[in-house]
Structure 1
């Protein structure tokens, strides 16, 4: 394995023109990006029965889990299905992810992944603080081709959950947006994205809208060594996308 591997693709959703491409079918670890399959499954369940959104789920149904998220720091013992999904979309909440997975089951989510991602992108497991030898070695895997295909026609409910995403540290760092308050209706620049972060992994997939022109994009990197050059390269891809859509 080389020290740095990339899977990259960006496509104009209107014309279908490829804007940037590099090994788009290469499967790499994507950390929390795979949580999108869970969100899509939930969105389809709510399509069939909107009342499910108001069902209360308790945090005590699963083991505590650390790292990303807010629910672990809050006093509230139960949240609705919809609020759990909002936490996953906004802050990649690990506890909300595991509570939702406990509620709907991993197998149906993986069936959604098999249907939506022919290139093999997959949510392999729930979030774990420690991965044992018998556990899947990584939370998710993915390739740029799968995620760009998804974001060319994303589920609108999933987009609503991603709209307040606070992680603009990667590709979206080039867009000059407020991480805590973006995607207002009167803006000429909007982004809906999901990121993944793990040791040696940075990934961002999403949809960028500049004045009504849109690009679905995915930038996934597995690397060794310092993260700063990787983030700088991801920002450069974001700048390229922004300039291309503005010039178009």
Structure 2
């Protein structure tokens, strides 16, 4: 195990969407929500930046399709529609039930965040978020079927620009193991924020990680330095995935 300031609470941007996916998977498995239920986007759900639904003609998607969009492209519109259907209180409740006190989804996605809104979309610590990924890999988040659903959605993430850049995977096609490596991860980005949490599996072991970076964007563009450091963490992990001997 390696750690650096792992218990510092930082803004986690879109990483908190994982908690909405956990609640969606729990609701699917319990029968509280039909994966095929059609969800409609509204004007209030529309936001810019990450995702595809904002440019699609289709105004209605199934609940499960919304989860796939969130996993693959961190889709903001799909997040807002899904959270509206689940209820933010339900997302917070499952987060607390899992024992996470410093990490969670605080709000819906907004183009502009004012003083009347929560200060961030989500927050988290590396300790709790890496533990979340480790428990998902062991099938311990709510249940094994729930954990498998969430890992499936995270396994199609196309953002491999951070820690995931070290594993040499095709960002558009890595649902199956490639070069003996399988990755499920969720990233988050905002001005002065980069974060990547995931679990990467090799031939005989799996490593869960959470790498969170936050800096003052007014103090200069540090993005390249941050991405370089995150890639170095990925290479460190990759070395430890190799079979001994």
State if a TM-score over 0.5 links the two structures.
Answer: yes
Residue 189 (structure 1) aligned to one of 168, 173, 181? 181
User: Is 2:153 the counterpart of 1:157?
Assistant: no
Partner of 1:64: 46
How far residue 187 of structure 1 moved from its aligned partner, in angstroms, is: 5.0
How far residue 58 of structure 1 moved from its aligned partner, in angstroms, is: 0.6
User: Is 2:119 the counterpart of 1:137?
Assistant: yes
SS of structure 1 residue aligned to 2:50: coil
How far residue 148 of structure 1 moved from its aligned partner, in angstroms, is: 1.5
Residue 216 (structure 1) aligned to one of 191, 208, 218? 208
How far residue 56 of structure 1 moved from its aligned partner, in angstroms, is: 0.3
Alpha-carbon separation, structure 2, partners of 1:133 and 1:120: 21
**Contact 1:57/1:78 (8 A) holds in 2:** yes
Alpha-carbon separation, structure 2, partners of 1:185 and 1:177: 9
5+ residue gaps, structure 1, are 1-17
Partner of 1:169: 161
Partner of 1:236: 232
Post-superposition CA distance 1:57-80 (Å, at most 9, x none): 011263311100000110111000
Alpha-carbon separation, structure 1, partners of 2:178 and 2:119: 43
5+ residue gaps, structure 2, are 137-146
Aligned residues: 230
Q: Tell me the TM-score normalized by structure 2.
A: 0.90
Deviates more, 1:211-220 or 1:30-39: 211-220
Whichever structure has more strand as a proportion of its residues is: 1
Alpha-carbon separation, structure 2, partners of 1:247 and 1:185: 16
How far residue 125 of structure 1 moved from its aligned partner, in angstroms, is: 0.3
Post-superposition CA distance 1:37-88 (Å, at most 9, x none): 0000011111111871000001126331110000011011100000000000
Alpha-carbon separation, structure 2, partners of 1:43 and 1:77: 22
Residue 227 (structure 1) aligned to one of 215, 223, 230? 223
**Contact 2:204/2:243 (8 A) holds in 1:** no
Alignment of 1:1-248 (within 5 A): 18=1, 20-49=2-31, 52-60=34-42, 62-154=44-136, 155-185=147-177, 188-224=180-216, 225=220, 226-248=222-244
What do you get for the CA RMSD once the two structures are aligned? 1.5
